[in-house]
Structure 1
Amino acid sequence: MAADPSSPTPSAAAAGRGGRLTLWGVAAVFLAVSMFGGRHQPDDTPQAPRASGTGTAAAASADPRDTGASLPRSTPTRLHIPKIDVDAPFTTLSLGASGQLQPPPAADTNLVGWYADGASPGEEGTAIIAGHVDTVTSAAVFADLYELERGDRFSVERADGRTAEFVVDSAETYPKDDFPSERVYADASRPEVRLITCAGDYDHTVRDYTDNLVVFAHLV
């Protein structure tokens, strides 16, 4: 199993819409998201995913005419990303006693996690969806996330029977020790999603990847 990441203590979270916590209020606990990387034995040599952007690039501005009206809150049930053949169910993610976000179960390679105290996909705000890039046994659900580019589309099925359609604005890679929490997790005035996984090189010392890949997208 990969070593647990170090994470700063979260600041007091401000109440968000509907009494939920805003993403920036809990951004620190998501810093680096290193629990979403490989879970290898020390002598493993995992194939590191490539990234389609850089941490210094700003997210591309989206045409506001391409922005869909926000949907009411509803639990996501399934993620579809046709370009990379993702068809995966959701599990909910929450904070553990240490203040770190708990990862999806590593035993299931085709599973994504949604941070349930944030916005739901399609709801106004920033929804967080995370998944493993690989496990000790095989590639996992977000192994090919690096292939997504501006203009690619994906969808989220919801418990209310609606499907939220998203378009990618950008895909960017950040070092885990210099992760821009405010940029990634700040609350949004429109429905947005962040797809997050590990990227970069695999560090055998800490048994984790060096970077995070973040895909920025908005509802259409």
Structure 2
Amino acid sequence: MTEPRPFDRLGPPSWPAPWGILVLLLLAGLALIRNGSGEFDSGPPQPAPAAATGARSPAAPPGTAGAAPAALPASPAVRVRVPGAGVDAPVRPVGLDEAGWIDPPPARAPHPAGWFTGSPAPGTRGTSVLVRHVDGAQGPAVFHGLGAVEKGGRVEVARADGRAAVFTVYGVDVVPKKDFPARRV
């Protein structure tokens, strides 16, 4: 019988145990499931610094020269298009909920936007308010891309009377719901 060589007594090379590798893979898989892969974590687009409203005169947005266009007669909004954000959605009238917040339209297809009937109709004098969520439990909503709109972009609101109110974007702000500047709007 031959005498064992010194390395034969120590056993196989010291590789990690197969269960150790399985545990590491399982933990990595659980982390990805819990935290996501990061591929879709970015949220909605944020406005470019050049599109932020910053300091401006609310009465005369930059780039506007001469007199404002004549106001249109009141007519409900029926559709909103924002080409720079990929928005093309029907609009329905909305009011206030029990807590006094603007009640957004229901989150069902075709994901309409809402025109707050407590504000002037788009195209009439005053600030007209169109609402919709940016995202929800089902993922991105109709206004998800609004942060991508650049200064000078267009917003087109089709009205029930067949006319369109067309607006030029002079700034974009992102504010949390709890800090919504209702007085400014």
Which 5+ residue runs of structure 2 have no aligned equivalent? 1-33
Tell me whether 101-110 or 71-80 shows the greater mean CA deviation.
Answer: 101-110
SS in structure 2 at match of 1:171? coil
Match of 2:102 in 1: 101
Matched, 1:58 2:59: no
Cα distance change of structure 1 residues 72 and 146 upon mapping to structure 2, 3 Å threshold? same
User: What is the CA–CA distance in structure 2 between the aligned matches of 1:114 and 1:93, rounded to whole Å?
Assistant: 6
The Cα offsets for residues 33-67 of structure 1, whole Å up to 9 and x where unpaired, read as xxxxxxxxxx7876422321677812453414373
Please tell me the residue identity of whatever aligns with 1:72.
Answer: P
Shift in Å, 1:93: 1.2
Please tell me the residue identity of whatever aligns with 1:140.
Answer: A
Shift in Å, 1:135: 2.2
User: What is the CA–CA distance in structure 2 between the aligned matches of 1:63 and 1:165, rounded to whole Å?
Assistant: 14
Aligned length, in residue pairs? 142
The Cα offsets for residues 9-39 of structure 1, whole Å up to 9 and x where unpaired, read as xxxxxxxxxxxxxxxxxxxxxxxxxxxxxxx
Q: Normalization by structure 1: what TM-score? A: 0.57
Q: Answer 1 or 2: higher relative contact order, Cα 8 Å, separation at least 6.
A: 1
The Cα offsets for residues 83-105 of structure 1, whole Å up to 9 and x where unpaired, read as 22211101111012332221111
Match of 1:87 in 2: 88
Q: CA RMSD in A?
A: 2.5
Report the structure, 1 or 2, having the larger strand content: 1
Larger radius of gyration: 2
Shift in Å, 1:182: 2.4
Q: Normalization by structure 2: what TM-score? A: 0.67
User: What is the CA–CA distance in structure 2 between the aligned matches of 1:122 and 1:44, rounded to whole Å?
Assistant: 45
Contact 1:151 1:167 in 2 (8 A): yes
Which 5+ residue runs of structure 1 have no aligned equivalent? 1-42, 186-220
The Cα offsets for residues 179-201 of structure 1, whole Å up to 9 and x where unpaired, read as 43322x2xxxxxxxxxxxxxxxx
Report the structure, 1 or 2, having the larger helix content: 2
Please tell me the residue identity of whatever aligns with 2:70.
Answer: A
User: What is the CA–CA distance in structure 2 between the aligned matches of 1:87 and 1:56, rounded to whole Å?
Assistant: 24
Please tell me the residue identity of whatever aligns with 1:58.
Answer: A
